[in-house]
Structure 1
Amino acid sequence: LSFLKTTDPAILFASIFYTHYFEEGFSDIGADPGAPPSPGDVQLGDELQIAAGIAFALNDRTSLSMSFSQRFIDETEISLPGLGTAEVIGSDTTTGKFDLGLTYALTDRLSMVTSLGMGLTNDTSDYTFNLKFPYRF
């Protein structure tokens, strides 16, 4: 779900995402390769992500943006036949990231989008750099 509000020369945006993973069965989820197979089910934790930011138009081809995003991930659970269900310790996490971006319209259909992300939590990459060239057909 995304929201967008234009207030020339700025654009305000926000979004919220939810991801549910379905339980999946595996023929062997054991940690010891020499042991007999341990079939079981794995239920990855659900995710909730929120984000908000602002973009400023510098001219008709260039814009700067900044945004914040945070993601909450629930614990993963494993189920072994006859042993029940257990949570995987340390599999839940919260990540946070601050992004600075620059977009430049190379042509009417092709843009160059760059961003530098800075991790704000221990479970987030310290820095990320993205370079994209979206083309509009």
Structure 2
Amino acid sequence: MAIKKVQKAWRQLRMLFSKKQTSSKGVGTDLSIPEHCQTENVFTFVVQNRLAEAVAERDTLRTEKDRMEKDLEMERQTVGRAQKEIDELKKELTLLKDLVESTLNIAYLIDGSDGDKADKLDHQSPVISDAAAIAPVLLS
């Protein structure tokens, strides 16, 4: 944006000094050069300095943008690694849940024929249903 403004000002100055504009074109007859810039070379120097400053600012902004993009990419990679770890932990949790359920089922099958143990296992059966209810919550 700043570069375009400087380029536009430069074109206007070039037209001003080429004296192609006259009062009939709406500029007026006052083509006097400001005191601090008595020649076209000084104007050229000033405009070139401003253009160089704009280019330097643009380069600084590009460098900052590149750094921010690099930081963002590093954060994305970190998030990706964290998500993979979460997925692995969910798989491990599922395996552990299945292991607990199968262990409880085996215990039920082994102890199921004895009356006292069957009553005791019936008392434990809510544990199996609790484990089944808790596991999906932990996986989400």
Q: TM-score range by the shorter chain?
A: under 0.3
Question: Scaled by the length of structure 2, what TM-score is found?
Answer: 0.16
Larger radius of gyration: 2
Q: Which has the higher strand share?
A: 1
Question: Scaled by the length of structure 1, what TM-score is found?
Answer: 0.16
Q: Which has the higher helix share?
A: 2
